[in-house]
Copies of this chain bind each other. A is one copy, B any other.
């Protein structure tokens, strides 16, 4: 792939991610192309249709998250710290897209695999955090994943905004 083509592809993904984050999934292809400084045609050369673009964004976002979690899993720090790091990583990234796309395509294989891996990694971290005594014990890993999803994967979320703070406090294991 030519250098400029790769650069354009990246610009498109960035522009789309930015616009989706700010204004939701309703943004038009024209606008995305314009925001990337390109014509629609170019956008469609890189992504055969709207679905494909969204799929790419989803995969890219999920891949980065998975890599982050893998790295965290390997570190020698309390699991609670790993959770915090993930919260900081996700805050403001509308991963939410992934579940609430209007175009909710029958999730692609790659996407499903990524999601399964992420859930696996997070599940382990959650269990270990519960065992180390930092995370409350009355929630299943799935529930934790689910609530993190709503709480931090929304447009405008910040790692230190009130909802995130309160939620983290609510997640801490109660003093014995």
Interface residues of A (CB under 8 A from B): 23-24, 26, 100, 102, 136, 139, 143-144, 146-147, 150-151, 154, 161-163, 165-171, 175
The complex places the Cα of A94 from the Cα of B150 at a distance, in Å, of: 14
- Contact of A100 with B24 in the complex, beta carbons under 8 Å: yes
- Contact of B162 with A144 in the complex, beta carbons under 8 Å: yes
Shortest CB-to-CB span from A156 to chain B, Å, is 9
- Contact of A147 with B163 in the complex, beta carbons under 8 Å: yes
Partner of A166, one of B147, B154, B165: B147
- Contact of B150 with A163 in the complex, beta carbons under 8 Å: yes
- Closest B residue, CB atoms, query A100: B24
Shortest CB-to-CB span from A24 to chain B, Å, is 7
Shortest CB-to-CB span from A171 to chain B, Å, is 6
The complex places the Cα of A100 from the Cα of B150 at a distance, in Å, of: 15
A24-B102, A151-B151 known; A166 vs B171 contact (CB < 8 Å): yes
Q: Which of A102, A150, A171 is the most central at the interface, judged by chain B CB atoms within 10 Å of its CB?
A: A150
A102-B26, A166-B170, A170-B166 known; A150 vs B154 contact (CB < 8 Å): yes
- Closest B residue, CB atoms, query A171: B166
Q: Which of A161, A162, A175 is the most central at the interface, judged by chain B CB atoms within 10 Å of its CB?
A: A162
The complex places the Cα of A154 from the Cα of B100 at a distance, in Å, of: 11
- Closest B residue, CB atoms, query A144: B162
User: Could you pull out 18 A-B pairs where Cβ atoms are within 8 angstroms?
Assistant: A24-B100, A26-B102, A139-B166, A143-B162, A144-B162, A146-B162, A146-B163, A147-B161, A147-B162, A147-B163, A147-B166, A166-B167, A166-B170, A167-B167, A167-B170, A169-B169, A170-B170, A175-B175
